[in-house]
Structure 1
Amino acid sequence: MTTFDNVTVVKKANIYFDGQVSSRTIQFADGTEKTLGFMLPGEYTFGTCAKEIMEIMAGELDVLLPGSEQWQSIKAGESFAVPADSKFDIKIKTPTDYCCSYIK
């Protein structure tokens, strides 16, 4: 899916790590949410309350998921899932465009 129809966009940006990571929240009529964001090269640790699926539209990164000791390489066109109530580490290799879906 390349577009989302009939959504509400939260005007205020989510800005993390001194502006190195930013996103905008979009809300759907059924109550689900996604964020559309951009990450600059660097190393970051994120926490999540809900299960999420992060789809990479452009860029390249490595991710260390909870419970794993091995980094996974992810590139444009790929995605990965993060369990609820967890933290994960990410190394952004090139500027990265992403869509994060929160699963209830």
Structure 2
Amino acid sequence: MVISIPRRQWRPLENPAEAGGLVNHNVYFEGKVQSLSLETAAGKATVGVITPGTYAFSTSTEERMVITSGTLGVKLPGGDWQQMAEGKQFIVAANQTFEVEAKQDVSYICYYK
């Protein structure tokens, strides 16, 4: 027996408040890095994807970044390049700039303090 599920009908929201919650879509570096914001039990966070390339980010608060898929090269302030594989995390202090390099698509969750 095969059960047919009706095709979803997608339409853009004329009023984003219709979504029932506030999720911001963040786009950086001409769409090569994108994230969605959310509230977690640990506080504000973003989940995102980094496509291949090298990027520099500046922090305004402390950030804890956890790699959820792939491997990301990370150069923290004053440090050398390190490879962070899935499940690894790093912390960047507030008001710092750090660099990342992705050789393939990488996903992450970033928690803000």
Q: Could you say which structure has the higher strand fraction?
A: 1
1:93–1:12 Cα change, 3 Å? same
Residue of structure 1 in register with 2:56 after alignment: 45
TM-score w.r.t. length of structure 1: 0.83
**What letter is aligned with 1:24?**
L
Give yes or no for contact 2:54–2:99 (8 Å, CA) kept in 1.
yes
Deviation by residue 1:31-64 (Cα, 9 ceiling, x = unmatched): x200010110100000110001000000111111
**What letter is aligned with 2:37?**
T
How many residue pairs get aligned? The number is 94
Give yes or no for contact 2:34–2:50 (8 Å, CA) kept in 1.
yes
Question: Radius of gyration: which is bigger?
Answer: 2
Unaligned runs of 5+ in 2: 1-19
Offset at residue 16 of structure 1 (A):
0.2
SS in 2 for 1:94: coil
2:33 to 21, 36, 41: 21
TM-score w.r.t. length of structure 2: 0.76
What percent identity do the matched residue pairs reach?
36
Unaligned runs of 5+ in 1: 1-7
